[in-house]
Amino acid sequence: MAVRLLVALLIFSFASFTYASDPDPLQDFCVGVKDDEAKVFVNGKICKDPNMVNADDFFFPGLNKPGNTSNAQGSKVTPVNVNQLPGLNTLGISLVRIDYAPYGLNPPHTHPRATEVLVVVEGTLFVGFVTSNPADPKDKNKLFTKTLYPGDVFVFPEGLIHFQFNVGKTDAFVFAGLSSQNPGVITIANAVFASDPPITLDVLTKAFQVDANVIKYLQAQFN
């Protein structure tokens, strides 16, 4: 248990020294007010009255508990960003725990506002990320992959598509630090095939160079 807590602290320490995409704070803290309680909308969250701030604004319990991986992907992300821990507002950092069932997948996705640094606590993961489009259109996006074991660390650069796949026969879990209080996530398949309203068939058939029936089949998997 002590080792796991140390791992979590190391993630936070490492991420705090990375460049954050969020602006630097102009005061000791700015505890975020819930969106439904805010009177104005700002880039981030407005500050809670400092006289009303208490220790619970900087506290989140329960990352020692495994997430429920009983789903199609066999994975569960438990975030601790400004929406769960309002004391993170303006601090440019957040944390997630990710659990994986055997052969569970955290599918290809991006964080538009954050670099992610991940450390494996239990299990064996195959991870990777894909570079952005190269300057020469004749070149292809490059894939970087690595098999990770407990204690291994891997970094996913900000905005790049990445994934993690549990290649082991046992459960796995990781902690990851992100360089934003609200890193955002775009799961590629969901965004393309399950948007509301849906992207038109003309666009998707042209983009993927496949028949409309293939697109309809893929869209149906998310209904």
- Residues of each annotated binding site for oxalate: 106, 111, 116
Q: For residue 193, what is the enclosing H or E element?
A: helix 188-193
Do residues 47 and 26 make contact, with C-beta atoms less than 8 angstroms apart?
Answer: no
Instruction: Specify binding-site residues for Mn(2+).
Output: 109, 111, 116, 162
Q: What is the phi/psi pair of residue 186, to 5°?
A: -125, 105
Cis peptide bond upstream of 23, omega within 30: no
Distances, alpha carbon 170 to alpha carbons 74, 99, 101, 111, in Å: 12, 11, 7, 27
Q: Which two tokens stand for residue 78?
A: 């438990």
Of 125, 175, 120, 118, the closest CA to residue 150 belongs to: 120
- Integer Cα distance of 76 and 96 in angstroms: 10
- Integer Cα distance of 43 and 20 in angstroms: 15
Instruction: Specify binding-site residues.
Output: 106, 109, 111, 116, 162
Q: What residues contact residue 30 under an 8 Å CB cut-off, 6+ apart?
A: 45, 47, 48, 89, 90
Q: What is the phi/psi pair of residue 137, to 5°?
A: -65, -15
